[in-house]
Amino acid sequence: MMQNKTGVWPRNLFGSAVPLVAFTAVAGALPLVLSGNRYLAFVAGMTMIHMLWACGMNLLYGYTGLMPLMFAGIAGISAYTVVDLTAAGWSFWLALPVGTLAASMAGTILGLPSLRLKGFYFTLCSLVIQTVMTLAFVYFSGLTNGDTGISQIPLPSAGHGKPLSGLAYDLVLAAAAVLGVIALIITVHSSLGRRLIAIREDDELAGALGINVTGYKMIAFFIGSLFAGIGGALYAPYIGFISPRSFDVLISMNIWLMVAFGGRGTIWGPVIGVALLAPLSYLLQEYYTIKDVLYGLLIIAVIVLMPAGIAGGFGRAPRLLSPRINLPTPRRSPK
């Protein structure tokens, strides 16, 4: 184990160092370069928030092998909590950790079905949870203002009463995205990350090797939901308007697509995926329905043509195909 650590740690960290420096430079420079054009700066800022979400989704989907389609709903819990708390007079910077924690707790609890359900059944279950959350956002209109949504959410203040400037908040978002990627790199390269990967590869075998599968899946959900929560909390004041549709199943699918398209189970694949796909929906503006068609086509392309994404995925040989159709094939039980 120690040999493995000294052998693997530095190389992996150095491997991430060059792209990390490049990413930090780009993320930090973008708000400054684009500060003349609020619209493009806004697109860049939204991309940064999607980076955070993609990191969380990547931890769950890419590294733990779970495919939750309720990610946007978890982000929504945090967004609504933060907006309600700031409306009640809290400072945004105090509401942010509270909302994030609320989202993480919710995410951990809502992730519990993953302990019993696998593959399609868990994905379906998370889809149902996402739908229930969207319905709940509409239904509990006392907290969420229902379908109308909450508008005119102010940017947070810098501590002495005045709201942050757009540029300052863009820099906050860039810093959050960079810290998110760093946190993901550290998580994945720690022993926790190796255990999660073991669970992804074969959770029964991982359990037999003494890994507490239940506990680690819950930890994965807690950390993944942290990303969702921070992203959701930062999202609300940035866009200034949230409604149940901001956190519906389409958004969950989009986040999944960015991770899968980029290359799940790699650090930089999803970052590239986000950089390519997230700006689209904001740049297309009134032709945004084209985005739905395009995303749908990309989903099919990812599934059919490149299951490993553009970054190549797990870095293993392609999985074995089962024999042709008229030969006996083992068929897994539904569970």
Partner 1 sequence: MSNANLIILLSTISTGLILGSIFSLVAVGVTIVYGSIWMPNAANGQFFVLAALLGWTATVSWGIHPAIAAILVIGLSVPLSYALEFVLIQRFYDVPNRNVSYFVLSLGITQILAGIFAFTYGRWSDQFQLPPLIGGITFVGPLPVANNRLLVLALALAILAALFALLRYHRYGRAIRAVFQNRDAAALRGVNVRASYSLSFVLGNAVIFAGGFLFALAYSFDLTVAWTMSITAFAIMIIGGPGSVLGALIVGMVFGFTQAAVSTVASPTIAAFSYLGAMLLILLFKPSGLFAR
Q: List residues near partner 1 by CB under 8 A.
A: 67, 113, 116-117, 119-121, 123-125, 127-129, 131-132, 135, 138-139, 249-250, 253, 256, 289-293, 295-300, 303-304, 307, 321-332, 334-335
Strand pairing category for 150-151 and 241-242: antiparallel
* Shortest Å distance, C-beta 278 to partner 1: 16
* Shortest Å distance, C-beta 139 to partner 1: 6
Taking the least distance from each CB to partner 1, the nearer of 317 and 321 is 321
- The first and second tokens of residue 134, run together, are 């969207």
Give every CB contact of residue 172 below 8 A, 6+ residues apart in sequence.
164, 234
Taking the least distance from each CB to partner 1, the nearer of 212 and 322 is 322
* Shortest Å distance, C-beta 194 to partner 1: 24
Q: Residue 212 is which amino acid?
A: N
* Shortest Å distance, C-beta 277 to partner 1: 13
Collapsing DSSP states into helix, strand and coil, what is residue 163? strand
Give the residue from 222, 182, 232 showing the smallest Cα distance to 49.
232
- The first and second tokens of residue 232, run together, are 């959701």
* Shortest Å distance, C-beta 65 to partner 1: 11
**CA-based torsion, 260, 73, 225, 174: positive or negative:** positive
Please answer whether residues 157 and 264 qualify as being in contact, where contact means their C-beta atoms are separated by less than 8 angstroms: no
Could you identify the residue written with the tokens 């309720």?
70
- The first and second tokens of residue 328, run together, are 């006996």
Q: Residue 263 is which amino acid?
A: G
Taking the least distance from each CB to partner 1, the nearer of 94 and 303 is 303
Give every CB contact of residue 141 below 8 A, 6+ residues apart in sequence.
147
Taking the least distance from each CB to partner 1, the nearer of 183 and 277 is 277
Please answer whether residues 294 and 257 qualify as being in contact, where contact means their C-beta atoms are separated by less than 8 angstroms: no
CA–CA dist 95, 78 (Å, integer) = 9
Please answer whether residues 24 and 171 qualify as being in contact, where contact means their C-beta atoms are separated by less than 8 angstroms: no
How many CB atoms lie under 10 A from the CB of residue 312? Answer: 13
* Shortest Å distance, C-beta 46 to partner 1: 19
Taking the least distance from each CB to partner 1, the nearer of 159 and 330 is 330
Taking the least distance from each CB to partner 1, the nearer of 162 and 335 is 335
* Shortest Å distance, C-beta 113 to partner 1: 6
Taking the least distance from each CB to partner 1, the nearer of 192 and 284 is 284
Collapsing DSSP states into helix, strand and coil, what is residue 164? coil
* Shortest Å distance, C-beta 254 to partner 1: 9
* Shortest Å distance, C-beta 236 to partner 1: 24
Taking the least distance from each CB to partner 1, the nearer of 122 and 235 is 122
Query: Which pairs with CB-CB distance under 8 Å and at least 24 residues apart come from 302-305?
Result: 302/257, 302/260, 302/261
Taking the least distance from each CB to partner 1, the nearer of 47 and 123 is 123
